[in-house]
Chains A and B, each alone.
Chain A
Amino acid sequence: MSAIAYKGTVHDLIRNTPAHAMGKEIQMSENNSIDRRDFLRKSVLTGVASYGALHEFGAQNLFAEGDGLPDMVAVKNGELDVMFDKAMEAYGGMTRFVKNGATVVVKPNMSWNRPPEMAATTNPVLVKKVVQSCLEAGAKQVYVFDHTCADWKMSYENSGVRESAQQAGAVVLPANDSKDYVAVENPGAQTLKSFKVHEQLMDADMLINVPVLKHHGSTGMTSAMKNLMGLVDDRRFYHSNGLNQCIAEFCLYKKPTLNIVDAYRVTMSNGPQRARPEDLKLMKYLMVSTDIVAIDAASAQILGRKPEDIKHVQIGHDLKIGTMNLDALKIQRIAL
């Protein structure tokens, strides 16, 4: 049977109410017997740190509603749809993010002409769940698109994402034509100062990022931050002007309201698209977080890398887009 195991501080445990544990048995691990002084010190530090973080990263609404909720929920050992439900339950439900009448862009990775079982693209089952969940939470319209690397019609079809997103009720749009993009400024950036984003992103109330975790031949890893390249018209600019810098700086322009990482079947080598079956590993993880840097830091560790080894994660951390220091965060870990 499933159990919820905590690896965080005692403070995290205490703050987590049974309501968020959803009636599941809470197990305390043995190493949580910390003395009182240590407990107090950690409580204060974490409290200050999380207040500061929330304030600084513009997530005040989280603070108001999400007080007591974890910063990240990681689930493992389940099927994607089950893990998604568990994760969202623990994270306060989709209604915490998607308000009635909202227009939502769900951005999966469907960039390659590869079948779902090769996991070069986000699993269609997960995309379907996310879209359904947004609509159930009251979203007026959910748009799904990706500026694909391979031919878009083939990628949309053969990844299975187009079909599953449409079945769930999303509007799937093409995104490989420059005329669908509008120029925007990114004043905080050094390199990616101005670029063009998909017009639908401009009109939407929020962005929900649903990447698949993979090894990547040029950035080491592709997960949440890298996935946002599919919202931009000119990827060549990224490649010739500092790929990692641009990937991180996009988040200065727009940070997803929620990131949901599909790390079920993970390309461990020869990524991002032509991995052989032996390059894949069944990891069965799913993470949700509002912190895109933190979720990428967790992703890196699933790939067996340190967060700081992935340059765009380090840059994202330095730009204070989020934190890659997972110890400073409250992470709820659910092993099914």
Chain B
Amino acid sequence: MNVLRWIRVVAGIAVLAAFCCMFVLDEQLVGDLYRVLPGTQLVPSLLSLIAVSGSVFGVSFIVIGLATLFVGRAYCSFLCPLGIVQDVLLRLEEWLKIRRRYAYQKPRPVLRYAILVIAGLSISSGFLTAVIWLDPYSLFGRMAYSLLSIPIRYLGQLIAPMAEPRGILVFSDLAKGQIPLFALVVGMLLLLCFAALTLLAGRFYCTTICPVGTLLGLLSRHSLLTIRIDGDTCVNCGRCERVCRSGCIDAKNGAVDHSRCVLCFDCLSACPKGAIGYRPRRAGPSVTPVGQRRKLLGGGLALAGFSIAPGIALRYAGASEHGHSPVMPPGAVSIARFKTRCTACHLCVSKCPTDVLQPSLIAYGVDGMLMPHLDFSRGYCEFDCNLCSQVCPNGAIAPITIEQKHTLQLGTVELNEDLCVSYTKNQDCGACIEHCPTHAIYGELKDGVHLPKVKPEGCVGCGACVHTCPEQAVRVIANAVHKQAEVLEQPEPPQYEETRKGEQPTDEFLF
């Protein structure tokens, strides 16, 4: 086996494993992978370059671009988790003996560049629907979150009973709670699509659909190192073409389309003559004739315009339809801003310790499908937690401190006294009162019963009351733009007869 290919396989497995761990395992087990891994991904890196000033992740966008100019699209086989997933699927199909031989595929420049232009417009216009459904990292994240949670839950249930008596609690509650059905369906459909696509056409997604691939292809077309066929040694046996998962080797003409080659290095070990190699560029033929480029770009732009117009119309239709907005995670700032940054990669959802962050179906409109929202039937937003704002690789959930979060108002509480047992049955319940971190819900003693009262101005919208209320008598009305909550003046604590801290204690007992 060729050394380069061997390195690619090992690196791919390691990277994929790391990404999977990041999505489904506790930080106690795998460390803070989220601080590093998503930063290697092109779309999050680009978005964070735009969104977050002084973003570290943003640097990798430039680094990846430069690296691609030197070595070609190594990113697609070494760093992209979705690319590696497809490699795994291809290997599985090979083992199952259902995979066909590859053959050279004609480039589809109109389609490729149209998608790239759509994705570019999508990011620059802040209308991210196209990116949500095209970005390889986000597609991978969605699959990892929904599909891996199930085996991980069983694994946790298997290990936890053995670990708990030994004082190890990390395996208890290893997986998220129930994944919403639609998220599971989306994950499964995506996996099925990729299984079918790889079976039929290898890494067609990477060579033709993926906007990241196409963008890097523009650079790798001119990269220093490329896969090249030495015409003098080549015997035109075509073996390289038959193993090329990108369908980018035209063995008959001895040409390789470097814009589509993902550097799997399979061809290197397939060649019986050693005619094919990974070498520095010399002048050679390029598959796409330069003269066609302008036409292609024009066609791409036109197609992009056509496809984005209905999307924009849909967005505004959606905005008017949804009178009330979903409760957004702390740091999202506003619906308008959040929708221009979030690609629904589900990393925040998979990391949320209380499970309150869930993918939404159409709470953000059809264009913002699967974006995360706070679902108080599942959990509450812990007052002293800002993990989602730490993990978001795009800066869609802007980094905030715990102190900032303490007065960040995601929404305001509304109490329905007709449903509240303290009002209807005249009995103490007070679940909301005890869970409220800001005393925006407080008890007022009337006829011996602690009646809940609300001060919405002091509410942070964490939903602790909603989650705990036995009668669904409280709800949080979301703020479409996050606000500052008031720090509530609390009644002075009663003056105690006993000594204050620091004073000399008495020996008298109070009972």
Contacts and interface: CB of A to CB of B under 8 A. Distances in A.
Interface of A: 3, 5, 7, 74, 76-77, 113, 149-154, 156, 158, 162, 166, 171-174, 176-177, 216-220, 235-237, 239-240, 242-244, 268-274, 276, 278-279, 281-284, 297-298, 301-302, 304, 311, 326, 331, 333, 335
A166 B167 contact: yes
B354 A151 contact: yes
Contacts of A7: 509
Interface in B437-469: 437-439, 442-443, 448, 450, 468
Nearest to A298: B511
A283 B428 CA distance: 27
B496 interface: yes
B500 A281 contact: yes
Contacts of A177: 172-173
Contacts of A5: 507
Contacts of A236: 431, 468, 470
A298 B448 CA distance: 21
Contacts of A326: 511
A284 B505 contact: yes
B433 interface: yes
Given A217-B443, A270-B439, 10 more contacts: A3-B507, A74-B509, A151-B354, A153-B353, A154-B385, A174-B169, A217-B430, A242-B427, A273-B437, A301-B511
Contacts of A74: 509, 511
B164 interface: yes
30 contacts: A3-B507, A7-B509, A149-B434, A150-B382, A151-B382, A154-B385, A156-B169, A172-B164, A173-B164, A174-B164, A174-B173, A176-B173, A216-B434, A217-B430, A217-B434, A217-B443, A236-B468, A239-B431, A240-B471, A243-B427, A243-B430, A270-B439, A273-B435, A276-B490, A281-B496, A282-B501, A298-B511, A311-B428, A326-B511, A335-B507
B310 interface: no
B11 to A, nearest CB: 33
Interface of B: 164-165, 167, 169, 172-173, 353-354, 379, 382-385, 421, 427-431, 433-439, 442-443, 448, 450, 468, 470-471, 490-491, 493-494, 496-501, 505, 507, 509-511
Nearest to A2: B507
Nearest to A111: B434
Given A216-B434, A218-B434, A282-B501, A153 B173 contact: yes
A270 B490 contact: yes
B164 A274 contact: no
Contacts of A235: 431
Identify the 3 closest CB pairs spanning chains A and B, nearest first: A218-B430, A236-B470, A335-B507
Main SS of chain B's interface residues? loop
A300 to B, nearest CB: 8
Contacts of A274: 383, 436-439
Nearest to B509: A333
Given A236-B431, A333-B509, A270 B498 contact: no
B501 to A, nearest CB: 5
A173 to B, nearest CB: 6
Given A7-B509, A151-B354, A217 B433 contact: yes
Contact of B428 (A77, A171, A243, A270): A243
Contacts of B353: 151, 153-154
B510 A301 contact: yes
B505 to A, nearest CB: 5
Contacts of A284: 505
Contacts of B433: 217-218
Most buried by A among B353, B497, B511: B511
A129 B470 CA distance: 36
A278 B421 CA distance: 31
A239 B510 contact: no
A242 B429 CA distance: 7
B439 A172 contact: no
B429 A218 contact: yes
Contacts of A156: 169
